[in-house]
Every structure is written in structure tokens, then in C-alpha cells.
């Protein structure tokens, strides 16, 4: 684990809201870049969504720590000009509006590269910058559904299941950060501006590449990889099973006291078990329902099988191993302490979450505006300033 901040030399202009774009900017901040977040005078729309902690939702908190907040109305000529002045300093600019919106605002790739000819301009969107669906909205749940992920994560009854975590948004932000840092890594003196097109569509597909490869080859949905893997109810909770080898199926059969199942022609191979999954699951359902989660998992592991408890987030936080490796150390926000998982490979980052407009004056002074000009913009409602409580 490192405290290294290799991107301290970079200035990033983050004009995005929500999760996918801000998470890209958040990764830059984690590695030391100066990140100025332009948000509307009322703040990023993600700030009040769901539970709020000291005025910030968990999503806003997770992806905006360590940034400087400039609350600025980009719908005004004055606001746009300030954004372009900041772009002149920037190595990277990030936006996640629907395609065409930033162009209409005068802050699209062409407008920005006229002011900064070597900018790395990152556009994060649902469908990408091209194609017939480009202007349609796409949020995380739609990306899960459209990509096939929900069809692959079905309930026992066969219903598609939505993951109640913004997985695609977060992964898209990570891919955007990867693409931007690689573009910077590869730059030569005098290199022209680059426009990176990062979409939820492509990100969702990339993390499911093996399934999509198999579906394209078979012409149908992929078969179950390792039946009877899946979730099973126990006497006091739930466990998950997985299998990689036939030996692990044999281990499961021994645990439930039915070693002969491993030699039953219906269940002898992975292929056979796929066609007989219903009867096989019934056998394991009955056996597991009589035993406690902890004892059952320990028995399966002792026999060489693969299993684990299905935890809640509270279970995970309370687990001795999670606590021993400090996977989610304390993070102070306002008068409250929460648990915040740190970025893998990086030491915990105590950087604060900015209030809306907390750094407005500082940022505006840095681009040459005088105090009187800033006061005039505040009076017009184009700029909002705030101080940390």
C-alpha cells in the first residue's frame, strides 16, 4: 500500500455530475491531481439523493472527496468563459452530459481544444458519442438491463435481477480514468488534443466479455458455468456455493452425507448437472436448510469445497478480517464518522468532501478575476460561494 501521489503535477477540470464522471475525477484526486469540480449553483444533483451525511449523499461523498468545488452557472456567458479559462490550465477535462449538450453550451471538445490545443477531453455518456441511441438517457439500471447483466443474474424463479449497487457507473468512471491516464502517459511534446469516448454501454460489455464471447459463438445465452453453484438458504441465513472441479462437487456430496450423488449419472459431470439442476438443487436445499451458516461453510471448506456466507454490508464491516486489514477505515465528515473503503493499493485518503462552492473564490482568483468581479458574479447568482462549517 502506498501514499504515493504521482499525479500532483496535473490539473483536472471536472464538469461532470452524478457518479460515472465524478468517479473519474475522484480517481485523479486520489492520486494527487488538483481537481476543480464545476457544479451548478445548487450543487451536483447527486448530493441530496438518498441518505445524506453532513449534506452529502454516500455516492457524492465516495467520488468527490479531495476536489475543489466551484459553484458556477454554465448556462451564462460569464460562466462559460470562466470554464474556458480553467480549461486553458487543464491537462484533462471531464464531462458527462448527453452528446451534444456541451457543444450547445460552448464547452464541447472543439471549443475547449481551441483554448487548450493539447487537452485530453473525456466524454462519459450512456450510449457513446455516436450511433442512433446516442441522445437517449442511460443510467446504471438501464445499463445493467441493456448489457445482458440482469439476464445473467436471475433469481431462482428465473426473473432478471437488478444489482442494488451502481456497479456500471463506478466501473465506467474507472475505465475513463484508465483511458485518460494512458492518453497522458503516451503524449509527446506538441501532441494534439484527444477526445475520449467512454460509455456505460461499452464498460458494461467489457466486464462481461467472457459471457458475450460465448453467446456470440453459441448463438444463445451462455450455459451455467458450474452447477449447482448459487445461493442456498441455511437454518440461520444464506450461503453461496461455487465449483471449479469435480472434486469440489464430491466434497459437497460428502458434507451433506450423500457421497453416492457424485456417481449418480444425472449428476456425474458439469454438463449432466446443467440438465438436472432442479432436482439437484432440491437435494441441497433440504440438506442445507437444517444447518447453520457458520458450521456449514466450515464443513464445506474443510472438505475442499468452495463456499462462503452471504453477508450484509454490516456483516462485512464487522468481520474480523475486514477489520484486521483496515479495508474500511474511519472517515470523518462534519461531526460524523463513517466507514469508507479505500482505493485498492492506496493508503486511506482523509481528504474532505467540499461544500457547494467552497472553493469558488479561490478558483476564480486563480484565473485572474478581481474581488469586485467575483462579488458581481455572486450578486447575479452566477457564482455561489460557501465556507466549510
Give the residue from 203, 211, 41, 237 showing the smallest Cα distance to 122.
Answer: 203
Q: Are 270 and 205 contained in the same domain?
A: no
Q: Is residue 188 part of a domain?
A: yes
Domain-ending residue, one of 317, 336, 360: 317
Q: Are 202 and 240 contained in the same domain?
A: no
Q: Percent of the chain scored above 70 by pLDDT?
A: 98
For the stretch 371-387, pLDDT in tens is 999 999 999 999 999 86
Q: Give yes or no for residue 3 having a pLDDT over 70.
A: no
* Confidence band for 2, pLDDT divided at 50, 70 and 90: low
Q: Give yes or no for residue 75 having a pLDDT over 50.
A: yes
Q: Is residue 340 part of a domain?
A: no
Q: Is residue 337 part of a domain?
A: no
Q: Is residue 3 part of a domain?
A: no
pLDDT of res. 388:
52
Q: For 309, left (φ over 0), alpha (ψ -120 to 50), or beta?
A: beta
Tally the domains of the chain.
2
Q: Give yes or no for residue 369 having a pLDDT over 60.
A: yes
Q: Is residue 328 part of a domain?
A: no
Domain-ending residue, one of 275, 302, 317: 317
Give the residue from 116, 90, 105 showing the smallest Cα distance to 35.
Answer: 90
Q: Give yes or no for residue 389 having a pLDDT over 70.
A: no
Instruction: State the CATH number of the domain containing residue 123.
Output: 3.40.50.10540
CA distance 194 to 45: 28
For the stretch 144-157, pLDDT in tens is 999 999 999 988 88
Give the residue from 74, 71, 61 showing the smallest Cα distance to 29.
Answer: 61
pLDDT of res. 387:
63
Q: Are 311 and 349 contained in the same domain?
A: no
Identify whether the C-beta of residue 216 lies closer than 8 Å to the C-beta of residue 229.
no
CA distance 382 to 371: 15
Mean pLDDT (the chain, rounded): 95
Question: What pTM value is reported for the model?
Answer: 0.94
Three-state secondary structure call for residue 260: helix
Q: Is residue 355 part of a domain?
A: yes
What value does the mean pLDDT take over residues 101-107?
97
Q: Is residue 282 part of a domain?
A: yes
Q: Are 143 and 101 contained in the same domain?
A: yes
- Cβ atoms within 10 Å of 271's Cβ, excluding its own: 9
Distances (CA, A) of 370 to 72, 219, 375, 377: 16, 64, 9, 11
Q: Are 198 and 273 contained in the same domain?
A: no
Q: Are 31 and 106 contained in the same domain?
A: yes
CA distance 195 to 204: 20
Q: Are 65 and 163 contained in the same domain?
A: yes
Q: Which of 389 and 364 is assigned the larger pLDDT?
A: 364
Domain-ending residue, one of 317, 337, 368: 317
Q: Are 104 and 168 contained in the same domain?
A: yes
Three-state secondary structure call for residue 12: strand
Q: Is residue 223 part of a domain?
A: no
CA distance 222 to 224: 7
Q: Are 66 and 16 contained in the same domain?
A: yes
* Domain range for 280: 230-317
For the stretch 157-198, pLDDT in tens is 889 999 999 999 999 999 999 999 999 998 998 899 999 999
* Confidence band for 223, pLDDT divided at 50, 70 and 90: confident
Q: Are 77 and 177 contained in the same domain?
A: yes
Distances (CA, A) of 235 to 38, 78, 275, 319: 52, 64, 28, 20
Identify whether the C-beta of residue 90 lies closer than 8 Å to the C-beta of residue 119.
yes
Which residues, 6+ apart, have CB-to-CB distance to 267 below 8 Å? 249, 261, 273, 276, 280
Q: Are 150 and 270 contained in the same domain?
A: no
Q: Is the C-alpha dihedral spanning 60, 64, 66, 67 positive or negative? A: negative
Q: Are 201 and 277 contained in the same domain?
A: no
Instruction: State the CATH number of the domain containing residue 312.
Output: 3.30.1540.10
What value does the mean pLDDT take over residues 288-301?
97
For the stretch 300-334, pLDDT in tens is 999 999 999 999 999 999 999 999 999 999 999 98
Amino acid at each position: 500500500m502506498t501514499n504515493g501521489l504521482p499525479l500532483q503535477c496535473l490539473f483536472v477540470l471536472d464538469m461532470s455530475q452524478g457518479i460515472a464522471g465524478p468517479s473519474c475525477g475522484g480517481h485523479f484526486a486520489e492520486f494527487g491531481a488538483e481537481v476543480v469540480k464545476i457544479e451548478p449553483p445548487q450543487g451536483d444533483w447527486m448530493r441530496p439523493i438518498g441518505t445524506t451525511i453532513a449534506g452529502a449523499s454516500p455516492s457524492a461523498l465516495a467520488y468527490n472527496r479531495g476536489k475543489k468545488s466551484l459553484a458556477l452557472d454554465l448556462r451564462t456567458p460569464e460562466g462559460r468563459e470562466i470554464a474556458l479559462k480553467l480549461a486553458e490550465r487543464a491537462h484533462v477535462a471531464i464531462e458527462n452530459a448527453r452528446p451534444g449538450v456541451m457543444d450547445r453550451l460552448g464547452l464541447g471538445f472543439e471549443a475547449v481544444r481551441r483554448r487548450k490545443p493539447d487537452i485530453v477531453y473525456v466524454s462519459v455518456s450512456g450510449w457513446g458519442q455516436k450511433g442512433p441511441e446516442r441522445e437517449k438517457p442511460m443510467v446504471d439500471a438501464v445499463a445493467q438491463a441493456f448489457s445482458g447483466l440482469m439476464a445473467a443474474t436471475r433469481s431462482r424463479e428465473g426473473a432478471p435481477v437488478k444489482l442494488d449497487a451502481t456497479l456500471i457507473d463506478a466501473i465506467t468512471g474507472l475505465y475513463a480514468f484508465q483511458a485518460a491516464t494512458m492518453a497522458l502517459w503516451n503524449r509527446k511534446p506538441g501532441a494534439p488534443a484527444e477526445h475520449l469516448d467512454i460509455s456505460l454501454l461499452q464498460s458494461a460489455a467489457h466486464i462481461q466479455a467472457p459471457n458475450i464471447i460465448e453467446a456470440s459463438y453459441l448463438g444463445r445465452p451462455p450455459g451455467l458455468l458450474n452447477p449447482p453453484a448459487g445461493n442456498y438458504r441455511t437454518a440461520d441465513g444464506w450461503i453461496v456455493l461455487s465449483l471449479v472441479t469435480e472434486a469440489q462437487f464430491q466434497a459437497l456430496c460428502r458434507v451433506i452425507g450423500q457421497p453416492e450423488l457424485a456417481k449418480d449419472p444425472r449428476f456425474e459431470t458439469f454438463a449432466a448437472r446443467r440438465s438436472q439442476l432442479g432436482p439437484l438443487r432440491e437435494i441441497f436445499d433440504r440438506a442445507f436448510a437444517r444447518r447453520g451458516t457458520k458450521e456449514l461453510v466450515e464443513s464445506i471448506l474443510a472438505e475442499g469445497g468452495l463456499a462462503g456466507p452471504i453477508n450484509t454490508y454490516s456483516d462485512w464491516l464487522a468481520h474480523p478480517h475486514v477489520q484486521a486489514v483496515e479495508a474500511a477505515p474511519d472517515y470523518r465528515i462534519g461531526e460524523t464518522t463513517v466507514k469508507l473503503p479505500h482505493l485498492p493499493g492506496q493508503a486511506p485518503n482523509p481528504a474532505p468532501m467540499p461544500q457547494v462552492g467552497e472553493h469558488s473564490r479561490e478558483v476564480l482568483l486563480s484565473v485572474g478575476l478581481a474581488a469586485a468581479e467575483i462579488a458581481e458574479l455572486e450578486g447575479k447568482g452566477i457564482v455561489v460561494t460557501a465556507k466549510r462549517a
